[in-house]
Amino acid sequence: MDRDFDTSILTDVGHRPWEMPGSPWMMTQTWRDLLFAHWRVDPRQLCGRIPSSFQLDLFDGDAWVGVVPFRMTNVTARGVPALPGVSEFPELNVRTYVRAGGKPGVYFFSLDAGSSLAVRAARTLLNLPYYKAAMRVSPNTGGFAYHSRRNVDGSEFAGTYGPAGDVFTPVEGSLEYFLTERYCLYNLSHRGAPYRMDIHHPRWQLQPAHAQLEKNTMADASGLSLPHQQPLLHFASRQDAVAWAPMRLT
């Protein structure tokens, strides 16, 4: 099991769009072998699906929906060592981009995970729409084979993907920067109160990606319709991150 969280990220802060919170961070995560698959969508499709406390964030007038499969490691609370069978599991997100108080962030329509404990904890503590899924990730020629099937409704993602070019750092103002350089997530609490959960990570190191998506009903399960076109694809081999406790928005 991977137990190699990079603590040096805590001093790599010059790229952040706002200062890190003054309170102590509460947990670590490492995201591995990640595919960003993004589709451009009509903002009108998303407006009714975003809580009114948040503003849909657009790039040149367009909204974007991402389907993001990856592996999680080093998932643990501050001061607690990573544990076998607990701190490492596959995850798959369906997301879009919003703002609140001038700060851009991520809004999740769904999060599937291979860990029942992670699903229960995230639903209980953060009211995030996590679902338990049967998931497999395995290396193959040129990348990874990924399969996920949600337990409750059979929503499914299956395909292969991998890097297809040189590593680059997204330039501020570019579409790649807009889609990836996000330092918080937004959601509603169990009582319907909006909150922001700050995160910190280094600048993303991306690569162009190839992908063959055999099945992808993840967005459909959230009532979203993805266009029938090739998505914008990026790969990242690793990203270390820390997260803070949620902060209620006024």
Q: Which domains does the chain have, with CATH numbers?
A: 25-244 (2.40.400.10)
**What global pTM score does this model have?**
0.96
Helices (H), 18-115: 43-47
Residue 43: the pLDDT is 96
From CA 70, how far away is CA 83, in angstroms rounded? Answer: 19
- Contact (Cβ atoms closer than 8 angstroms) between residue 201 and residue 239: yes
Please identify every stretch of the chain with a pLDDT value under 50, giving residue numbers as ranges: none
